[in-house]
Amino acid sequence: MALLVVKFDLKKRVKLAQTVWFMYWFAVLAGILVLSLGLFFKIELRKRSELMDNNESHFLPNVLITMGLLACGINAFGGKVCYDSLDPTKFAKWKPVLKTFLVFCMVFNALLILTALLCFIMRIPLQFTLAEGLKNGMKYYKDTDTPGRCYMKRTLDLMQMEFRCCGNDNYRDWFEIQWVSNRYLDFSAKEVKDRIGSNVDGQYLMDGVPFSCCNPSSPRPCIQYQMTNNTAHYSYDHYTEELNVWRRGCRDALLSYYGGIMNTIGALVLLVTMLEVAVTIGLQYVDTSLSTLANPEDIESESEGFLLEKTVKETFTDIMANMKAMGKGAKVEEGGEEGVATVS
C-alpha cells in the first residue's frame, strides 16, 4: 500500500507543478547563499592563514562551495522538469531519468545534513589548529627580516588589536618567548647579558608584551614592560592591580569568532536542507500524479500521487534485499574471475 496518497485532478496537478517550480527556483537562490557563505568563510580564514597550523581548516568552506554549486545545478534541473510537467509531451522525455534524479536528490539532502553537522563539530579541530598556529606565529613575531615571516609581527599586532586579546591562552605566553629581534638588543648592556644568560636557550626573555596587547580604555598609561615588578612602577601591584592589557587569549577570541560563523552557517544549511527535502517530496508527487493517470490519453483525468509506492517497512526491506543481491552478484563475479585465473 502506497504511503501518503493524495488524489489529484488537472487543476491540482497544475497548481502543484507551479508551486514546486517556484520552490525550486527559490532553492537555487538558497544554493547561491550556501556558495556565498562558503566563499565568505574561506576569505575570513585566509585573512589569518599564517596563524593556522595547516590547510585542513579550509576543508569546510570548500565543502560549502561545492554543495552550493551542486544545489544550484540540481535545483535548476528540477525547476525545468516541473515546468515541462505542465506539458505531457515535454515531460515524457524526463521520465526515464526522473527516478534516478530523485535518488540523487535524496543522497544530496543527506550530504547537506552532514555538511551542517560539520559546521558544528569542526570547532574542535579548529581549536587545535589555532593553538598550534598561534604558538608558532608568536615565535616568529621577531623575525621581521626573515623572508616568509616578515609580516607575522603586523598580522599578530592587528589581530590582537582587532579581537582585543593577548597571547595564545593569555598575556603571560609572551613571557616565555623572545619577541624582540636581536637587531634591537644592545648585547653590551648588563641587563641584556643577564636575561640571555638566565635561560638555557639563550633567549632574551622578559615580563613584557607587545604594544598591541594594551587596552586603550584603561585610564592609566599602558604598563607593558616589567609587568611583574611592583617596584618598577609607582603605586602598582601586579597581583591586585587591574592590568591595562587584554586578559583574553587570542585562541579563545578567534575560536569564538569563527565558531559563531560556523554555527550560523550550520543553522542556515539546515534550513536549506529542509527546503531541499520539501522540493524533493514535491517533485515525487508531481512524478507519481502524472504516472497514475486513470486515462493516460486524457490529461484531465484524475490520478493519485504518493510519497512511497509501499510502506516504510516494505521499502526498507526491498532496499536491503537489493543490496544483498548486489553483494552476492559481486561475490559470484569475483569467484568466476578466480576460477578463470586458476584454469589459465
Tell me, what DSSP letter sits at residue 144? T
Q: Given the DSSP bridges, would you call strands 303-305 and 6-8 parallel, antiparallel or unpaired? A: antiparallel
Query: 266 and 116 in contact (C-beta within 8 Å)?
Result: yes
Cell numbers found for residue 340: 578463470
**Higher pLDDT among residues 308 and 226, named by residue:** 226
Nearest Cα neighbor of 250 from 122, 163, 146, 145 is 163
For residue 215, give the H/E element and its range.
none
Rounded Cα–Cα distance for residues 128 and 261 (Å): 18
Quick count: other Cβ atoms within 10 Å of Cβ 301? 14
Give the whole-number percent of the chain exceeding pLDDT 90. Answer: 39
Q: Indicate the SS3 state at residue 196.
A: helix
Q: Give the number of other CB atoms < 10 A from CB of residue 144.
A: 15
Average pLDDT over residues 103-118: 94
pLDDT at 334 over 80: no
Tell me what the mean pLDDT of segment 286-296 comes to.
74
Other Cβ atoms less than 10 A from the Cβ of 322: the count is 10
Q: Rounded mean pLDDT of the chain?
A: 85
Average pLDDT over residues 47-60: 80
- For 25, 41, 47, 83, the CA distances from 264, given in Å and listed in that order, are 23, 11, 19, 33
C-alpha span between 238 and 230 (Å, rounded): 6
Instruction: Please give the residue that has the higher pLDDT: either 31 or 198.
Output: 31
pLDDT at residue 209 is higher than 80: yes
4's grid cell: 501518503
What does the DSSP assignment read for 290-303? HHT-SSTT-TTS-E
Please name which of 120, 18, 35 lies closest in space to residue 74, comparing C-alpha atoms.
35
Main-chain dihedrals φ then ψ at residue 319, nearest 5 degrees: -65, -45
Q: Report the number of secondary-structure helices (H) and strands (E) in the chain.
A: 9, 2
In angstroms, the CA 327 to CA 184 distance is 71
Grid cell for residue 191: 641587563
The three-class DSSP label of residue 56 is helix
Q: Virtual CA dihedral for 161, 162, 164, 165, nearest 10 degrees?
A: -80
The model's pLDDT over 145-202, given as tens digits with 9 standing for 90+, comes to 888 778 899 999 999 999 999 999 999 999 999 999 888 888 888 888 888 888 767 8
Q: Return the minimum-mean-pLDDT range out of 5-14, 15-24, 156-165, 314-323.
A: 314-323
pTM: 0.82
